[in-house]
Amino acid sequence: MANTAEQRKALMQQCRVLLPGFPKRTPAQEFELMAQWCEHNAVDTDAYGKGVALAAFEKKIAGLLGKQAAVFMPSGKMAQLISMKIWTERAALPRFAMHPTSHLELHEARSYASLLHLEGVLAGDWNRPLNAADLEAVVEPLAALIVELPIREAGGQLPAWDTLTALQESARQRHVRLHLDGARLWECGPFYGRPYAEIAAGFDSVYVSVYKVIGGLSGAVLAGDADFIAQARLWQRRFGGELPQISPFLAAAALHFDERMARMDDYYRRAVSLAAALRRVPGLRVNPGVPQTPMMHLFFDANAEAMAIARDAIAETESCWVAGGFRDSAVPGWCSTELVVGDHLLALSDETVVPYFEKLMQRARR
């Protein structure tokens, strides 16, 4: 019989070896680190988005992205909705385009339509990043286009640099504003081999997460020119996102930021080497075959329930948590999982990791 979600959480917590992602601290441990960071950096108490430490972090992110200004927001959902509100309002055109797997379309209950009364047009193919032809195929007038780098639902894929610049040029010719959904933008640097400011240069606005990979509690930063950010702050207040204090979220993000950013090359190289080893496991496929970010999707010749039961069995007998959740794929009998390469896998060799996946497949098939 399959375990419940709570049973699986307890099982994972008691494992000595975890493969996906990053070490998890208890709230008490994390809060202690945050307090130490605040004391060491003499962090002041911010008030409704104003504070010395907060302003310094916003300036730091804006500089990294090559933008004039930035604003810290409670969530990426808020940051991206605000971006679409500003660009559609300026164009006097309530329509924008996005990839079929955009977070706005899949995970936000169509908030752009329900809250802002905007029309979202889907462009491109589910299995690959957007390109110029995808934009040109949209015949309706558009105020803006959201481009996600990387495409999470396609295993962290990125467009080639020439493909990206061609898309940007097509948008300019149509006077379509470009917004970068950079929830995982920090993971793109090693693949492109370019500064983040150069990657973000062709976009009118940029959103980045400060908890995905970075390790903050939650939160996002929205960057753009000074006038755009001034408008974004106004809409943040209207959305209820101008919190009395943001310093806890700031501290959680800032204390990890430099350390995690310094390891992005290591995470990327580890993902490439691990994918090469995993491709040799019978019944397992890696997408993309050569990772473009420290993320990949693994496809298994077994159904999701069988894989979950097999993973739980390995956790019980060998105290190793091999993978997160599984979901059945479009190919009958196959399922997939997302593997994020972080500090756990940096510390483990292929010779240690691959046998766990071999055992996972063997158990699932039985």
Residues 139 and 75 both lie in one domain? yes
Query: Which tokens is 327 given?
Result: 């979901």
Residue 346 lies in a domain: yes
Report the CATH number that the domain containing residue 198 is assigned in CATH. Answer: 3.40.640.10
Strands (E), the chain: 17-18, 69-73, 95-98, 119-122, 144-148, 177-182, 205-209, 220-224, 284-287, 295-300, 320-321, 327-328, 335-340
Count Cα neighbours of 20 within 13 Å in the Cβ-side half-sphere.
17
pLDDT at 283 over 90: yes
Q: Among residues 195, 210, 244, which one ends one of the domains?
A: 244
Residue 275's pLDDT is what? 98
pLDDT category at 151 given cuts 50, 70, 90 is very high
Residue 366's pLDDT is what? 83
pLDDT at 140 over 80: yes
Residue 325's pLDDT is what? 95
Identify which of 229, 186, 251 has the alpha carbon closest to the alpha carbon of residue 38: 251
Distance CA 289, CA 155 (A): 10
Q: Averaged over 255-261, what is the pLDDT?
A: 96
Residues 357 and 291 both lie in one domain? yes
Residues 199 and 341 both lie in one domain? no
Instruction: Say if CB 89 and CB 127 are below 8 A apart.
Output: no
Residue 33 lies in a domain: no
Residue 294's pLDDT is what? 98
Residues 169 and 112 both lie in one domain? yes
Instruction: Say if CB 78 and CB 236 are below 8 A apart.
Output: yes
Write down the pTM of the prediction. Answer: 0.96
Residues 14 and 57 both lie in one domain? no
Q: Averaged over 14-21, what is the pLDDT?
A: 97
**Residue 134 to residues 158, 168, 352, Cα–Cα distance (Å):** 15, 12, 42
pLDDT category at 44 given cuts 50, 70, 90 is confident
Residue 34 lies in a domain: no
88-122, pLDDT tens digit by residue? 999 999 999 999 999 999 999 999 999 999 999 99
Distance CA 146, CA 273 (A): 31
Percent helix, strand, coil in the chain, to 5, is: 50, 15, 35
Report the CATH number that the domain containing residue 333 is assigned in CATH. Answer: 3.90.1150.10
Residues 59 and 128 both lie in one domain? yes
Residue 218's pLDDT is what? 95
Distance CA 325, CA 37 (A): 33
Terminal Cα-to-Cα distance of the chain (whole angstroms): 15
Crossing angle of helices 52-65 and 247-262, in 10° steps, is 40
Residue 111's pLDDT is what? 97
Residues 186 and 286 both lie in one domain? no
Q: Which residues contact 209 (CB under 8 A, 6 or more apart)?
A: 76, 182, 183, 184, 219, 220
Instruction: Say if CB 89 and CB 238 are below 8 A apart.
Output: no
SS3 label, residue 70: strand
As a whole-number percent, the residues of the chain with pLDDT over 70 amount to 100
Distance CA 224, CA 207 (A): 9
Q: Which residues contact 226 (CB under 8 A, 6 or more apart)?
A: 68, 69
Residue 38 lies in a domain: no
- Total domains in the chain come to 2
Residues 17 and 55 both lie in one domain? no
314-323, pLDDT tens digit by residue? 999 999 999 9
Residue 318 belongs to domain spanning: 5-25+263-365
191-237, pLDDT tens digit by residue? 999 999 999 999 999 999 999 999 999 999 999 999 999 999 999 99
Residue 2's pLDDT is what? 80
Residues 236 and 319 both lie in one domain? no
pLDDT at 1 over 70: no
Task: For the chain, give the mean pLDDT.
Answer: 97
